[in-house]
Amino acid sequence: MTQKRYVTTPIYYVNDKPHVGHAYTSVAADVLARWWRLQGHEVFFLTGTDEHGQKVEKAARDAGMEPQAFTDQVSQHFRDLTATLGLSNDDFIRTTEARHKAACSALWEELARRAEIYLGHDEGWYAVRDEAFYGPDELTERDGVKYAPSGAPVEWVREPSYFFRLSKWLPELLRRFDLPEGHAERIDVQPEARRNEVRAFVQQGLKDFADRPEKLDLSISRTSFTWGVKVPGDPAHVMYVWLDALTNYITAAGYPDANAERWKFWPASAHFVGKDIVRFHTIYWPAFLMAAGISPAKRVFAHGWWTIEGQKMSKSLGNAIDPVALVADYGLDPLRYFLLREVPFGADGDFSRKALANRLNGELADALGNLANRTLSLIQRNCEGKLPAPAAAIGDDVALLDALAAMPGLVGKHVEDQAFHLALEEVFRVVRAANGYITAQAPWALKKTDVTRMEAVLRHLHSVLRGAATALQPFMPGTMAALLDQLAVPEDSRDLAALATPLPTGTALPPPSPLFRKIEIEAA
C-alpha cells in the first residue's frame, strides 16, 4: 500500500564549508528516500542549512562580513553539495528565509497562547560552539578552563530569557519512548544505545530536580546577540537557535497552514542526525511539538562519527575531508557506496582512502563490474546480443534464483532499520554467488556442447544483474542506471514491483562498457 514518507537530514550549520561527515548523513537520507520511492511510496526529502545564532554571528565577524552575506556564501556550498552528491531532495531550506521566520513566529505564538512560555532570567555554563547550557556535573576542567562534554569551552552567562516549560513534558516523553514498536504515539530513538542514553538523561533530570522541576525548563531566547529570529512582541530577544533550527522540519511541510499540500507528510517518518545533537532532536524538539499540539516525528536515528586517526572529524580540529575532492578522485557512486558499506550507520568509523579504494576495486569493480561485463559480453558474442528466453531452474540454478527472489525483501528490512551495510551485504551475497555460478557453469564452454543450457545460464545471470542493479539504485543511482541501460531494462520498469515482470525474449542489449574505474591502492 502506498504511504506518505518524510525523511530529513539535520540542517547544517553554516560556520564553514561542508566536510565528508555532512555527505555521510545526506547520502543515508537520500538512500532511504530513493528506496521508499522504489517501493512506490510518496516521499518528501528535506535538507538545508541552519544560519542563525551566536556562533554564525561570530564567524561572519571574523570573516569581515555581514551575517546575511556570510550565510548566503556558505549556504551555497551546502546547496552545491546536494548536486555533487546526486541527492534527490525535494526541498532545500534556509533558516534565513521569510517562510521559516513566519513559521518560527507562529510556533512561538502558539506555545505562548497555550501558556508553555514564561519570562525569567537564565544563568549557567554556556558553550558558544554548541549554543547550549550545561550543568556543572557535565563539565571538565583543564588549565583553568571549563569544557562541555563536546569539548567546547564554556563561560558563565546571565541574561533575561524566555523559558519553555520542558519539565511539564518530560514524563510524557518517557512514556512515548517506551511504547511498543508500531504504536502511533511511539517516539522511536535509534540505535538502542542512543535511546537508552536519552532515557537515562531524562530520568536523571526528573530525579535530581523532583522538588524543583522549573530547573528543567529550557531557556529559549537570548539578548546578548541579535542574529536570529526576533521574538514576537519582544524584539530585544532572539529565539534560541535550536528552537529556530528545529522548526525547519515543519516549515518545509507548510506550517502553520494545516491545509498546505506538504502537511500531509507530517509527522516526519525519520530524522537523521549526528549523535552529538540527539538530545535536541529527541527531548527538546518533540516537547516543543507536543506543547503546540503537533505530533512529534516518528523516528530519530543518531548515526556515528567518522574519525581521522581516532579523532572526530570536525572543522574546528582542522581535519575535515572535502567530499567534493573525494568525488573527483574516486567517483560519486563509489564514495556513496563506501560511506554506507564500510561502517554500521549507528557506529563510529575511521575514514581511510585505502579502504575506499579496496571497496571500489574489490566489490564494485571485481565482483559486480566483472560479473556484468562477463555476462553481457557472452550474450553479445553467443546470443547475437539478444536476451535469451526464460528457462526453468534446475540444479545449481535453484539456490541462486531463490537467493535472488529473497534479496529485495531482506534489503528492504535492513534499509528500514537503517542497517545500510547489511542491506548492501545482502545484494553482494547474491553477486558473489553469481560469480561462483558463472565459473561453475562455464557458459563459454556450453556454447560448444549445449546451447540451450548456455542460454538458460545467461538468462539467469541477466536476472541476477537486473535484481542487483534495481536494489542498488538508491545507493549508486548513476552507475546502476547505466547498468540497467546495458541490461535493456526500460526506464519505466526499474522499481521493485517491475522485477516480477520478465523482459521479453529477444530484447536487444547494447554492447557492455565498464561500470567502475579501479584505483591504484598505492596512490590511494
pLDDT at 307 over 90: no
pLDDT at 524 over 60: no
SS3 37: helix
- Angstrom CA distances, 15 to 79, 209, 288, stand at 14, 35, 26
CB atoms under 10 Å from CB of 36, counted, come to: 25
- Angstrom CA distances, 39 to 35, 140, 229, stand at 6, 49, 39
The amino acid at 306: W
Which residues constitute the domain of residue 389? Answer: 353-500
Distance between CA 304 and CA 421 in Å, rounded? Answer: 13
pLDDT at 316 over 70: no
- Angstrom CA distances, 119 to 162, 218, 284, 401, stand at 4, 11, 18, 66
Question: According to the model, what pLDDT value does residue 313 have?
Answer: 67
Q: Is residue 241 part of a domain?
A: no
Grid cell in block for residue 175: 512514556
Q: Is residue 454 part of a domain?
A: yes
3-state SS string over 194-219? Answer: HHHHHHHHHHHHHHHCCCCHHHHCEE
pLDDT in tens, 11-29: 999 888 899 999 999 999 9
Categorize the per-residue pLDDT at 347 as very low, low, confident or very high, splitting at 50, 70 and 90: very high
**For a pLDDT cut of 70, what percent of the chain falls above it?**
98
Categorize the per-residue pLDDT at 157 as very low, low, confident or very high, splitting at 50, 70 and 90: confident
Q: Is residue 105 part of a domain?
A: no
Q: Which residues contact 95 (CB under 8 A, 6 or more apart)?
A: 11, 48, 49, 50, 51, 52, 229, 244, 245, 248
CA atoms within 13 A on the CB side of 175: 9
Q: Is residue 92 part of a domain?
A: no
pLDDT at 312 over 80: no
Question: According to the model, what pLDDT value does residue 319 have?
Answer: 74
Categorize the per-residue pLDDT at 150 as very low, low, confident or very high, splitting at 50, 70 and 90: confident
SS3 159: strand
Q: Is residue 453 part of a domain?
A: yes
Categorize the per-residue pLDDT at 282 as very low, low, confident or very high, splitting at 50, 70 and 90: very high
What is the number of structural domains in the chain? 1
Categorize the per-residue pLDDT at 522 as very low, low, confident or very high, splitting at 50, 70 and 90: low
pLDDT in tens, 183-236: 999 999 999 999 999 999 999 999 999 999 988 999 999 998 999 999 999 999
User: What mean pLDDT value characterizes the chain?
Assistant: 94
Q: Is residue 321 part of a domain?
A: no
CATH number, domain of 370, equals 1.10.730.10
Categorize the per-residue pLDDT at 309 as very low, low, confident or very high, splitting at 50, 70 and 90: low
Categorize the per-residue pLDDT at 314 as very low, low, confident or very high, splitting at 50, 70 and 90: low
**Better-predicted residue by pLDDT, 428 or 14:** 428
Query: Using omega within 30 degrees of 0 as the cis cutoff, is the peptide bond preceding 256 cis?
Result: yes
pLDDT at 322 over 80: yes
pLDDT at 70 over 80: yes
Q: Is residue 180 part of a domain?
A: no
pLDDT at 364 over 70: yes
Average pLDDT over residues 481-488: 98
Question: According to the model, what pLDDT value does residue 129 have?
Answer: 82
Q: Which residues pair with 125 in a beta bridge?
A: 134, 156
Categorize the per-residue pLDDT at 520 as very low, low, confident or very high, splitting at 50, 70 and 90: confident
- Residues 468-490, buried b or exposed e (16+ Cβ, 10 A)? bbbbbbbbbbebbbbbbebbbbe
E strands along 361-449, which residues? none
Distance between CA 123 and CA 109 in Å, rounded? Answer: 24
- Angstrom CA distances, 375 to 50, 96, 383, 498, stand at 48, 53, 11, 21
For residue 339, what is the enclosing H or E element?
A: helix 332-341
- Chain centroid to CA 173: 24
For residue 147, what is the enclosing H or E element?
A: strand 145-147
Question: According to the model, what pLDDT value does residue 243 have?
Answer: 96
pLDDT at 523 over 70: no
152-166, 314-328, 454-468: which has the minimum mean pLDDT? 314-328
Distance between CA 385 and CA 325 in Å, rounded? Answer: 38
Q: Is residue 461 part of a domain?
A: yes
